[in-house]
Amino acid sequence: DAKTTQPPSMDCAEGRAANLPCNHSTISGNEYVYWYRQIHSQGPQYIIHGLKNNETNEMASLIITEDRKSSTLILPHATLRDTAVYYCIALLTGTASKLTFGTGTRLQVTL
Amino acid sequence: EAGVAQSPRYKIIEKRQSVAFWCNPISGHATLYWYQQILGQGPKLLIQFQNNGVVDDSQLPKDRFSAERLKGVDSTLKIQPAKLEDSAVYLCASSPKYEQYFGPGTRLTVT
């Protein structure tokens, strides 16, 4: 699985969009980009995943660059409940595979 | 839909004692994972089951850790004997295909 690089921390004002970047310059053509988050004292929570095209669901949008070397997770209207550690993970296949977590980005949403 | 259930939520034991954790995955999910999360780090996979067969246990310390998944549903993870460095949160996750759903975890403190 390709290595991913994320900033260690970010701040975002409540109500604003939170844009979390992830670099995966060595990603291969059949590796998906997954995003999970972990709110304090809870288990990780799946957010979204994609291969090439941009994806959107009720939680977030995932924008993958055309060369697939980086991606951005967008929380369109961040709330205090979105304060968490966000993990970007590259997975070789789209089926059930073990997740290799890095250190993630700690997002702090403030009033 | 009920989530992944884990028990106990907290456990304190002395080193060299034994401990067992229980996980009930989401109904119908064939794949089950146990992760270990040490404070300040991302979760690390210990073992992955597909139905009741082991898919990956390469990072399970087999001299002290064991796990089973009876009838392809519930799973137990056991540590015998525990060491101080086993203090961590033990997370269970299950997956239908792509995304993983995590339980709340069991926080183990070894004194």
Predicted confidence (pLDDT) per residue in B56-81, tens digit: 999 999 999 999 998 889 999 999 99
Residues B99/B40, Cβ–Cβ less than 8 Å: no
Q: In DSSP terms, which residues pair with B45 in a beta bridge?
A: B35
Instruction: Pick B42's closest partner by Cβ from A46, A87, A94.
Output: A87
Residues B102, A45: C-beta atoms closer than 8 Å: yes
A42 versus B70: the higher-pLDDT residue is A42
Residues B99, A46: C-beta atoms closer than 8 Å: yes
Please work out, in degrees rounded to the nearest 5, the angle formed at the alpha carbon of residue B50 by the alpha carbons of A62 and A35.
15
Q: Is A40 on the interface with B (CB under 8 A)?
A: no
Cα–Cα distance, B74 to B92 (Å, whole number): 10
Q: Is A42 on the interface with B (CB under 8 A)?
A: yes
Residues B96/B30, Cβ–Cβ less than 8 Å: yes
B83 CA to chain A: closest CA distance, Å? 23
Q: In DSSP terms, which residues pair with B35 in a beta bridge?
A: B45, B91
Close Cβ partners of B58 (under 8 Å, ≥ 6 residues apart): none
What is the mean predicted confidence (pLDDT) over A74-88? 97
Q: Is B98 on the interface with A (CB under 8 A)?
A: yes
- Count other C-beta atoms under 10 Å from residue B53's C-beta: 9
Low-confidence ranges of chain B (pLDDT < 70): 1
Q: Is A46 on the interface with B (CB under 8 A)?
A: yes
